[in-house]
Amino acid sequence: LFRSGEPDIETILAEIRAMEEDEKAVSEMAVEKIYPRSSALFVANPAKEGEFFVHGGECYDGQKTSVYRDLMRLRVEKKEWAVIKMPNSPPPRSGHHGVAYKEFIYLFGGEFTSPTGMQFYHYHDTWRLDTKEMAWENVTCKRGPQARSGHRMVVWKQYIYTFGGFYDN
């Protein structure tokens, strides 16, 4: 147990991963609104004009921090939100960033904050969302930036650049 009485961050993340193994198929559900959140990824759908995706983020309700792993789609012209659930999604995170390239969205890094806000885990992983097939893939990179959150990413030609950010231990 951590000083605050909550399990250590690795145990919390392992429990979340175990619950997520139940996701077997892609499902989409229309919603009236999305949960309030900060530090989420917001990116245009590169495969369909007028659509945007929101992934992850966090919310502090005055007592505990909730970190999300959900993927939502906003269809601007229809003014509708949908939550999309799918297998092999990235773990919950906030402070991550991503870019659209061809029909894919790439995201890197971010952090998971424990419910008490006393523990942090910074990700060093890269994920790719195929927006045509609606499937996530954990991408293994030969080299890459160190674990971080709060960074920014841009695409130039066929390269993705990551800059800034921080690592809070």
Hey, is 94 helix, strand or coil?
Answer: strand
**pLDDT tens digits for range 22-75:** 777 889 999 988 889 999 999 999 999 999 999 999 999 999 999 999 999 999
Buried b (16+ CB within 10 A) or exposed e, 15-37: eeeeebeeeeeeeeeeeeebeeb
Condensed to tens digits (0 to 9), the pLDDT of residues 76-113 reads: 999 999 999 998 999 999 999 999 999 999 999 999 99
